[in-house]
Structure 1
Amino acid sequence: MTETEEWIEESDPRFYEDDAAAEFLYAEDFVDEPRLEYAIADRAISSFRARAPSAIAAFGPFRVVDPSRAVLVGTTNAATPGQFAALLNAYPGLRTLDLVEAPGTENDRANLEVGRMIREAGLTTRVPAGGSVRSGAVELFLAGVRREVEDGARFAVHSWRDNRGREARDFAAGAPEHRYYLDYYREMGMSDEGARSFYAMTNSVPNARARWLDAQNMRGWLARTIGAAANDNVPEVAPRIAYLDVTAAIP
């Protein structure tokens, strides 16, 4: 099941349909190396009052539940790579990252750096029932060496927007700005065709809106772009966490 939802009261005359997005994103004339002149930013979808398990430590938006499990609750920003590095240093036995309330990012460069750190650390990413992964946080979910999606998890995607207000559809098919994301998806295990298809889907609605995907739909995308072997969508034992207000978890 998918649905498109406008999450702020803003009309965008540049709204385009999936076919048009796919057409401009599927060209082959990409340059060898992406060199972005402007920072990619503003890729988050409304935060809600986060609920997270009791934690033993906090590193930015990350809450450590036990030495092998952490939870992401909040938006990533330029400081997040350093915070995540400190988390890995303090808890070298970390194995799983739960994405519970993940609105996205204020800095795509830093966000993709965190994604690569998740992959290098060999972590499993998991979205529990009721978990919400939106916008740039989807890239963090994709970074797991294994990806678990419980029934009741929800995802939302939309186009990125740079600091001049330009979105994906404002750039030519061969622009390095596209390669920046496509290379990341390939690094996370997607096939070339899968990376292009997933990227086109994420940019099928403008930044001011959101396309929502349920657990089944995200599993379908994982199977088509990466393959079932890299995912564990029906874990033998799905850990359950007791949700508490995150404000009560860490002073």
Structure 2
Amino acid sequence: MHRLFAFALALAATIASPLQAQVLSVETYVEQWDPAAGEWVRVSEDDRPRAERLLSAQTQVRQPAIAVYGPFRVDDPSRASLVGVTGSAAPRQFAAMLRDFPRIAALEMVECPGTEDDQANMQVGRMIRAAGIVTHVPTGGSVRSGAVELFLAGADRRIDDGAEFAVHSWLDDSGREPRHFASDSPENRLYLDYYREMGMAEDDARAFYAMTNTAAHADAVWLTAQDMRGWIGQNDDPDARVTAAPAAPNPAIAYLDLSRSFP
């Protein structure tokens, strides 16, 4: 059994100004229970099973942001990055960012573990699409769980080699997953309708959603850059869109990914 720790540190600029930049960094490590010592001990990257590699090797934020709005950071007046988890405040944070920086045209998805509020997350996705913003996952970028919905929202979606994605089933506040509901129930249509809004044909939306649900909430399906290109129609090879096998049982995805409730 392993557990993951990810610490984000924010160092505010010391000079007084109307808008102070923040420098963000992420330190990540895994602890493993040592029954002999009776305590958790830190393990090295080499000792970790592949299924529990949660963050890519390049999670260090590369430059100071000129403004920060929750998990959204403005790199320059035309480009923002997503680093962290979206929550119920994400639509307000994203709207404030666009209000202050209306020329933002691209969202770079660097380290995106998921969301704490699916419906708010989808609202941000619709805002991304309405604003005509491009979503880009760079080499080393990691887009997981609910963050995949934000990637799909891009008016244009760009994936560099070496990017990674992870998907799994959602889990509601009662512990139910998609399989507990009829395929066309409101709970499942919420996602299918969103994928259709983001440009997928009905059959493709159903196929993609079914693929994400091959992994239970506690598991994950890991996708390479090439895998995801196939799902969004950016591969010439019609056989390139394959369903990835689920990872080994019980991989962890950092943070709380898909917690939501239905009326």
**TM-score, length of structure 1 as denominator length:** 0.70
Match of 1:116 among 126, 130, 133: 126
What are the equivalent positions in structure 2 for 1:153-168 lying under 5 Å apart? Answer: 153-168=163-178
Contact 1:69–1:97 at 8 Å: present in 2 too? Answer: yes
Alignment of 1:2-41 (within 5 A): none
Q: How many residues align?
A: 186
- Confirm whether residue 188 of structure 1 aligns to residue 198 of structure 2: yes
Matched-pair contact (CA < 8 Å) for 2:87–2:121: yes
Deviations along 1:17-66, whole A, 9 cap, x unmatched?
xxxxxxxxxxxxxxxxxxxxxxxxxxxx9678942232100000011000
**Partners of 1:90 and 1:47 in 2: CA distance:** 30
Give the partner amino acid of 2:99: N
Secondary structure at the aligned position of 1:223 is classed as coil
Which consecutive unaligned segments of at least 5 residues does structure 2 have? 5-52, 237-263
Asked whether the equivalents of residues 8 and 209 of structure 1 are also in contact (C-alpha less than 8 Å), the reply is no
Q: Aligned to 2:60, which of 51, 56, 81?
A: 51
1:143 and 1:78 map into 2 onto residues whose CA distance is 18
Instruction: Give the whole-Å Cα distance in 1 for the aligned partners of 2:55 and 2:179.
Output: 26
Letter aligned with residue 90 of structure 1? D
Larger radius of gyration: 2
Letter in 2 for 1:55: A
Distance 2:96 2:148 in 1: 22
**C-alpha displacement of 1:186:** 0.5
- Return the offset for 1:175: 1.1
Which blocks of at least 5 consecutive residues in structure 1 are unaligned?
1-5, 10-44, 229-251
Does 1:60 pair with 2:70? yes
Relative to the length of structure 2, the TM-score reads 0.67
Q: Where does residue 39 of structure 1 map in the other structure?
A: none
- The CA deviation string for residues 150-171 of structure 1, in whole angstroms up to 9 with x for no partner, is 0000000000010111001111
The structural deviation recorded for 1:173 is 1.9
Equivalent residues of 1:50, 1:74 under 8 A apart: no
Percent identity between matched residues is 59
Contact 1:47 1:74 in 2 (8 A): no
> Aligned partners of 2:180 and 2:142: how far apart in 1?
28
Deviation at 1:174, TM superposition (A): 2.5
Contact kept? 1:94, 1:123, Cα under 8 Å = yes
Whole-angstrom CA distance in 2 between matches of 1:78 and 1:185:
20
Q: Tell me how far apart the structure 1 counterparts of residues 94 and 145 of structure 2 sit (CA, whole Å).
A: 19
The yes-or-no answer on 1:148 pairing with 2:158 is: yes
Offset at residue 8 of structure 1 (A): 7.1
Higher fraction of helix: 1
Residues 132, 155 of structure 1: 8 Å contact kept: yes
* Alpha-carbon separation, structure 2, partners of 1:209 and 1:85: 33
Work out whether residues 169 and 216 of structure 2, in 8 Å CA contact, stay in contact via their aligned partners in 1: yes
The aligned residue for residue 35 of structure 1 is none
